[in-house]
Copies of this chain bind each other. A is one copy, B any other.
């Protein structure tokens, strides 16, 4: 049996990520590969660092991209900072909060769970109570934008509470970076990770990450080795750091970093605040159209993520058939529900390059047709 070259269809990606990738980013991706210690490449890495500092709104020196997807970025934050003696308060209101707990457990540290409601923001008062009841806690972790439910939590307030209790903060910004307001320094976030394939509209596979000076100190002064060699930031920094000679740790994903660089140049050129405003504007247009189709949102209006719209699947409508219809007839991908919402919700993404008028028009027309077809055969 001979296998042939693979030519993917041209989809419109309006699920929970990967999002539509700009042609400029795909073009950058395919530029000639250079060595990972090539002086031109090292210069480009310095630019990626500056551009990420802008996107995260931070002056953190320790800002870079992990050579693996967002889940590895999450793990990098936890395994580098947390040791078995620590107590981590984890706020959970969806799949990715649960994944944080899994990370803490595999380190063997103590975990205090602030159990929230799926489809609702983390309640600041619940975090405050948990911290009052657990004075030994020294870390607070939560998800800024829950990709599983389309919920935005108030990261600024949650970090304020954590700081009042002398805790370091670990924040999941996989879906928030570039899509909604996020200010790492102003909000006192100590460790943050994101993904390349959401509102940055880069290809999947990289995880932007940033550590505050305080977090960086903890990493430098650890008594025990980090349990992951690949994610050990004390070693990775020897390669990404601008100080003196770069030391080899692993071979950087050269071409993916070209793509990340280009996506961050696009964000810089648009302006961060403009990108946030565009996501909000497009969300309002989409939301209005979805209402006209009779679809209702899972999340209350003031807790919604503009870039990820979770709606109830109407009674009697077959989830799988509708999504297959959109994909087969319109090359349009929307997301299924995850965890508690599997089979009950759709997640319609408007991330980065996908947050455009033409995508909204396509999505609303195609969805209208799909719902009509589904009701005919119900």
A220 is an interface residue with CB less than 8 A from chain B: no
Contact between chains at B229 and A102 (CB < 8 Å) = yes
**Which residue of chain B has the shortest Cβ distance to A197 in the bound complex?**
B251
Which B residues lie within 8 Å of A129 (CB)? Answer: none
Contact between chains at B106 and A229 (CB < 8 Å) = yes
Binds B, one of A11-19, A86-94, A301-309, A358-366: A11-19
A10 is an interface residue with CB less than 8 A from chain B: yes
Which B residues lie within 8 Å of A13 (CB)? Answer: 33-35
Which B residues lie within 8 Å of A255 (CB)? Answer: 26, 29, 203-205, 256, 259
Contact between chains at B8 and A36 (CB < 8 Å) = no
A113 is an interface residue with CB less than 8 A from chain B: no
Complex CA–CA separation, A265 to B5 (angstroms): 7
Complex CA–CA separation, A188 to B177 (angstroms): 46
Complex CA–CA separation, A26 to B254 (angstroms): 12
Contact between chains at B227 and A333 (CB < 8 Å) = no
Contact between chains at B251 and A41 (CB < 8 Å) = no
Binds B, one of A62-70, A178-186, A367-375: A62-70
Contact between chains at A38 and B11 (CB < 8 Å) = yes
Which B residues lie within 8 Å of A6 (CB)? Answer: 28, 31, 44, 47, 258, 261-262
A125 is an interface residue with CB less than 8 A from chain B: no
Contact between chains at A8 and B35 (CB < 8 Å) = no
Which B residues lie within 8 Å of A15 (CB)? Answer: 35
Contact between chains at B227 and A106 (CB < 8 Å) = yes
Q: How far is the CB of A292 from chain B (nearest CB, A)?
A: 26
Q: How far is the CB of A90 from chain B (nearest CB, A)?
A: 14
A35 with B250: in contact, given A228-B106, A229-B106 (CB under 8 Å)? no
Which B residues lie within 8 Å of A69 (CB)? Answer: 67, 230, 250-253
Complex CA–CA separation, A99 to B232 (angstroms): 13
Contact of A230 among B3, B38, B72, B253 (CB under 8 A): B72
Contact of A4 among B11, B203, B265 (CB under 8 A): B265
Which B residues lie within 8 Å of A376 (CB)? Answer: none
Which B residues lie within 8 Å of A259 (CB)? Answer: 255
A226 is an interface residue with CB less than 8 A from chain B: yes
A67 with B70: in contact, given A3-B47, A9-B34, A205-B205 (CB under 8 Å)? no
Complex CA–CA separation, A261 to B68 (angstroms): 19
| 25 A–B contacts from the bound complex (CB under 8 Å) | A3-B51, A3-B264, A6-B28, A6-B47, A6-B258, A9-B32, A13-B35, A15-B35, A17-B251, A18-B35, A18-B251, A26-B33, A29-B255, A34-B333, A36-B204, A38-B333, A67-B68, A69-B253, A70-B250, A75-B228, A99-B229, A106-B227, A106-B229, A255-B259, A256-B256
Where the two chains meet, the residues of A that have a C-beta atom closer than 8 Å to any C-beta of B are 1-11, 13, 15, 17-18, 20-21, 24, 26-36, 38-41, 44, 47, 50-51, 67-72, 74-75, 79, 99, 102-103, 105-107, 195, 197, 203-205, 225-231, 248-256, 258-259, 261-262, 264-265, 268-269, 327, 333, 338
